[in-house]
Structure 1
């Protein structure tokens, strides 16, 4: 069948929106009609070359839609089900899944290659095979994906909002609640207020933090962060250090979460300087592939018993935590409507990423036309 998709043919070039040919789903795969896809910075990392994923590729990994067809051996979903796509497939059988860490599922090793789990492609255009970003390729009207990559959800949640839980909401919220282990009364600093950082603010507030300091160089993010629960705002890490010092009478923050667009090695020490003795620095944002150098004061790390924690998908389990988050939304405790700054058509994807990179968006969402 034919679909419309945003294809990246070469690094550092614009997305090309064009017709593509999709194969039917094979065993343990489903065909999903995408209703909406969130704009995540990770897709732009592929465009810039920071994430060296093989090209050409259909972008997009924060999608939600409706199952249209199921292949053989599919048992968890059926035609008509509403689903959120999870960029981390969860097999449910490996060591990580069975011990409650399905964000680390062994099948995650396949997400950077562009091919499906059986090593072949489902999308084609101009005589070439097209990869699918993180096994999904959600910048498209339709996608063929593994059953392991879809999570069935209730049909009463708008898919234009549900899509956000497939990456940004879970990653940010979980960075505070799960990886950061924020507790009532804590002081938390979130550096970088985009789709992930905004949800880290939400998670910290929901976990009971007394002070939530949002840090961003864009002044427009101050009001956005306040809507999500930030109690204070700083325009730089240096400004935040002085503010946190004052708020905590010199103790410093319990948790600091780094959610900027691209992590550089000198940022690690900045995070350590924000936290107290025994505090936790959570590194959620991505660095360039292969970057090994990080600046940190090793004596401070040991003597003050500080911790540096990485966070993938907010340490969340897709099949349980995506429905959990949507349940919190339905009960009025989690904000999703407030995350969406602007919606776009698929043909406007390059304009949408210009807006994101200029700091004008908390989250942009592409609503697919059928």
Structure 2
């Protein structure tokens, strides 16, 4: 019996998806509920499970092609597992996965990061043909990316890219997520009156607290104490004092909230995503760190759900994990503000008339000037700075 593999409904506003990687080959047997194909929308990536045990008899849509919701993209013939094929390894349940030791929290904010992320598509095809892995080839492209000529040079099929022997262009369709990111960035620049204000933070107190309690924190909560939880707490404190920055324009109205849903920008397998931490004002340091760690892991595996990407009231983004010293982040519409964190560097500063070396971080607030006045933005950022330099102020609510 043949069964149709259809594009499922993945959201009310989504009518079309892009076919991602097929995890199963045509003619191969797959187990029921195993992931057989990846679908990408303009908001997130989803996997389609096999409806039953069987063999993929036909693939109608290839990777990169578009398909409508409900469209048939392949056929599965019901069949028992062949005797010569080993049973698939059992997947970890969400409960077991959550109980696994978590990597350090700072890593949650890093994008992708796997070695495969460095491989350009043309290089990946040649490597597959020659049976090579990314570890076998030295990349000469920007950021150590592996180019097709690097693979050929490794095999003796040509010189490295530096001698000009290869001049290639590769046209790759923009993914739905990249298209949506581009649309929203242009929307933010076109429809909002954006302005950025800057300040700098002496991170000594936060770093001392982390150093003092990191072992106890890790032992009790099984997650490392990072910087982001301090920033979330400081931002919530500042937003409670300046509610305009937590508001949005809706038609001709200004909508204020008494809750704080903080978007945390994290790098994923398909690019930057901003999952939302709901009711951040109710969360403890440990709960914040656990959520950030979870966001980072699932973003890299493209497992962030649509609901988690919608409805934030303010965003925090950390360019410092990539080495940024200073930047102007862009507001995520319809929000009215975004806080940019940057790298920590030891710098000489004046304290009580003396020059001292302190770990300093530049912070930037980009805000919609239609909603937020300059005074409010500047004083909000100063409030965040003070909360980080004297964390006890957040606990004392002063």
Give the greater-gyration-radius structure (CA): 2
Is the TM-score greater than 0.5? no
Structure 2 length-normalised TM: 0.22
